Amino acid sequence: MPPHPVEEFTSSSSWAMIEDKFSPFAKETLANLVDFARNEIEPARRVWQAQLPDDPVKRWKTIIPITEELKEKAKKRGLWNLFLSKAHYPEHGVPLTNLEYAVMAEVLGRYGQYGSEALNCSAPDTGNMEVLARYGSPEQQKKWLIPLLNGEIRSAFSMTEKGVASSDATNIQTSIRRDGDSIVINGHKWWISGAGDPRCKLHIVMGRSDPDNKDKYLQQSIVLVPADHPGVKFIRPMQVYGYDDAPEGHGEIIYDNVRVPLSNLVLGWGRGFEIIQGRLGPGRIHHCMRSVGAAQYALDLMIQRVTDPKRKTFGKFLYEHGTIVSDIAKSRAEIESARLLVLSAAHQIDKFKAKGALKEIGIAKFVVPTMAAGVIDRAMQSYGAEGVSQDTPLARMAAGMRTLRFADGPDEVHIQQIGRRELKRAQHLHKLSAELAKKEAALFRAQRMARL
């Protein structure tokens, strides 16, 4: 069998492990994607950068032409909405498993936001489409899901609040209350990704509708809010390090007596928690796989830099100095093991649903961004000052990776959960130890020996 193009593209060792789990359609789609990435997405990187205005007002009002062109091309090639698995979304989905999409997400991870967007696979739209496909009413789907699936509009997920420890979602303060035939929303959110985009037409807003409910997981509801609705106030874009991530951005937003019809409620009163639980899961793995791709890309850049004859110092290539060869070896090993962790988690989801893969998802979640940050950091060091500047994508990738360490729950939460999950094995282990002690005693007797 000739090597699949993805092997050379990602320089991965893991293809042998997963190849036989790929359908012919998935293999073909992956080859198609690799080709599209190399010939269309990659060359557009700097054009995209150049088409985003510097002006602090205009950059939030621009639809970047190259993105729209890439979207058209991708759609024609059938590289569209690949994240939406038919197994879970029979109506709108694509016949790909999570494992199969994971490898594709890795490829897209080399290009940051614009690469995923080209295939309509970028956050937060992906999760929002999943919410609407799973929980939306037919009317809601018609109005919001279809244009999202077509890449005609974009959307925001409005959950994180200012001044509130949002890793505990029960802390949420935004008020969602019924007032006659309307729902009235009041709250102060921030870090609402995508809300700055001129194409963003929908906020999916989480708030408290029943603050006195004894079950604190039934206090929340989720409501659809048109982005341009009266009372929706965009305060300012939040920065990540010095990046504003225009045009999507991360908005600080006030909902000031926003009034929408009752039909904008999703799923039902008090079911907000249930919805966000369903929204996460596979999406975390997508983040992780993209991070593996980013790390691999950083390593590729580093290899080019340290072998660049123009960069010789003291008569030697950079790679001949200090610990660079060793750094590269460690990066390769770390990427490989993180990749395997993510593939294993993706496959686990395919086999046992997200619920049956919590351990694997959690491990990937706290291992991968830190791994990728380390690899990117070594690459930056090999580029010197250029590595932190606007002339390479490295610093921006580093900032993104740093953010992933608390996006979607800080590392600490995942680490504690995995640790506590392991501790649940204690009872079983103590039981085995007790049995062992008996067998051991019997054996000492059989050998006619005094036990130690």
Instruction: Name residues contacting a copy of itself, limited to 240-269 (CB under 8 A).
Output: 240-244
Nearer to a copy of itself, 88 or 405 (CB): 405
Tell me the CA distances in angstroms from 163 to 173, 188, 197, 252, 441, one per residue in order: 10, 9, 24, 12, 60
355 binds a copy of itself (CB under 8 A): no
3-class DSSP state for residue 92? coil
Beta pairing class for 250-261 and 175-179: unpaired
User: What residues from 423 to 452 belong to the interface with a copy of itself (CB under 8 A)?
Assistant: 423, 425-426, 428-430, 432-433, 436, 439-440, 442-444, 447, 449, 451-452
Least CB distance to a copy of itself at residue 81 (A): 25
**Are the C-beta atoms of residues 222 and 267 closer than 8 Å to each other?**
yes
Contact residue for a copy of itself among 77, 340, 374, 408 (CB under 8 A): 340
35 binds a copy of itself (CB under 8 A): no
42 binds a copy of itself (CB under 8 A): yes
422 binds a copy of itself (CB under 8 A): yes
User: What residues from 177 to 206 belong to the interface with a copy of itself (CB under 8 A)?
Assistant: 190-191
User: What residues from 273 to 312 belong to the interface with a copy of itself (CB under 8 A)?
Assistant: 299-300, 303-304, 306-307, 310-312
Any residues with CB less than 8 A from the CB of 400 and at least 6 apart, and which?
112, 240, 294
**Are the C-beta atoms of residues 7 and 52 closer than 8 Å to each other?**
no
152 binds a copy of itself (CB under 8 A): no
Give the closest residue to 129 by CA, choosing from 114, 111, 147: 147
**Are the C-beta atoms of residues 126 and 414 closer than 8 Å to each other?**
no
Q: Cis omega before residue 90 (within 30°)?
A: no
Least CB distance to a copy of itself at residue 372 (A): 14
Contact residue for a copy of itself among 6, 37, 238, 375 (CB under 8 A): 238
Least CB distance to a copy of itself at residue 121 (A): 22
Q: How far apart are CA 190 and CA 53, in angstroms?
A: 24
Contact residue for a copy of itself among 67, 81, 160, 174 (CB under 8 A): 160
Any residues with CB less than 8 A from the CB of 273 and at least 6 apart, and which?
169, 217, 218, 220
211 binds a copy of itself (CB under 8 A): no
52 binds a copy of itself (CB under 8 A): no
Nearer to a copy of itself, 153 or 340 (CB): 340
**Are the C-beta atoms of residues 196 and 251 closer than 8 Å to each other?**
yes
Nearer to a copy of itself, 7 or 92 (CB): 7
List b or e across 12-29, with b for residues whose CB sees 16 or more CB atoms inside 10 angstroms: bebbeebeeebeeebeeb
Stretch of residues binding a copy of itself (CB under 8 A), selected from 113-121, 202-210, 285-293, 392-400: 392-400
Contact residue for a copy of itself among 134, 229, 259, 405 (CB under 8 A): 405
DSSP 243: B
326 binds a copy of itself (CB under 8 A): yes
